[in-house]
Chain A
């Protein structure tokens, strides 16, 4: 287990006051806020910053951390001595109200503790947990089995450790981004025989260059030849629900939107699939191609800049 230098993470000195720590935390919380940050590792950094703040803003935890961390550097191999925290009294099970699976092994080992026996005398429902699940658009069209790994705090000889737990879930057909899949009883264990909490998985779609998604509607760009766009005709188009035959209306321009009703994300009602036509020009890289273009220029008078007054 690696030692974590919480002072270094927050960018404050060991003599920082509570106010210094609060200011440093807010500055970094703004920088790495997962909803707005453009930093590549924002989510990971935000977890570190939260954890560092959780320890350094709590006088008990900070005192314990200062005592145990004397002489250690960031990243150095670290093992706390047994019963090192005997003189400290942390509240609850040592974790804050934030999701426990976001904590590092270092934190869990130092500050997490198994629930005390007195807590077992009454029933308490386990805490709900939150995580994200990233799926392909096609998983939503068909439903899919997905295996995810979660970090779960567990008691080991009275001390908390972070274990990995792998679960396989059935992704329901028709789920869309921003929705939650609720898995009953997959949250934290209850106490005193109380039920476990639930696990909420927030759904996100893996970016796919072929498709753009708005609620249940799906947008797909379809390249067409100039003659398909001009003369119309039927073309084969691969869509999330399979290959379909689509009729291109004659005199279509680039950007024309064709709506395929009910072929978006399944649901009640299902979304629509929008095909955006994009005219692809054959390259004029052979003598024959250049001749055909030159012939068009001669035989097909056309001014695309007419509306510009030219």
Chain B
């Protein structure tokens, strides 16, 4: 039996994504990402020069969640961002409760 070669990956936050890479990972045009950045929906503190933007794991998860909400419920971007804000807060509360020994 042949042994599978071991593939070494990169941790995304050590090597962040460019705008085009994030768009490709989400299967959306780069303009979709830019619109949600300029509206303040995707990142907390977007830099003035969008060409230098780099995206971490959190941005990738957030963008994919927003995309799913928009698509599944025909939600507008603001509503999708609000839902994702609430999901992120829920996750945060669950982690805090878990640390306190309470699992929901």
Chain A interface (Cβ within 8 Å of chain B)?
25-26, 29-30, 33, 35-36, 97, 125, 127-128, 130, 145, 147, 166-170, 172, 174-175, 178-184, 186, 197-198, 200-202, 212-214, 219, 221
Contact = CB atoms under 8 A, between A and B. Distances in A.
A209 to B, nearest CB: 10
Given A200-B60, A212-B99, A180 B12 contact: yes
A170 B64 contact: no
Given A169-B8, A172-B11, A183-B9, A35 B25 contact: no
Given A179-B11, A214-B95, A168 B61 contact: no
B99 A180 contact: no
Contacts, number: 87
Contact of A128 (B24, B90, B95): B24
Residue of B6, B57, B65 contacting most chain A CB atoms (<10 Å): B57
Contact of B25 (A97, A175, A184, A198): A198
Contacts of A130: 25, 64
Given A197-B24, A212-B98, A178 B72 contact: no
Contacts of B58: 178
Interface residues of B, number: 30
A278 to B, nearest CB: 10
A169 B72 contact: no
Q: Lowest 4 CB-CB distances: which A-B pairs, in order?
A: A181-B9, A180-B12, A183-B9, A168-B4
A220 to B, nearest CB: 11
A38 to B, nearest CB: 9
B29 to A, nearest CB: 12
Interface in B34-86: 57-58, 60-61, 64-65, 72-73
**Chain B contact residues, majority secondary structure:** helix
15 contacts: A36-B87, A97-B27, A168-B4, A170-B6, A172-B9, A174-B11, A175-B11, A180-B11, A180-B60, A181-B9, A182-B11, A183-B7, A183-B9, A197-B24, A201-B9
Contacts of A202: 57, 61
Contacts of B87: 35-36
Nearest to B24: A128
Nearest to B3: A168
B103 to A, nearest CB: 9
Contacts of A198: 25
Contacts of B60: 180, 200
A179 B98 contact: no
Contact of A127 (B9, B27, B57): B27
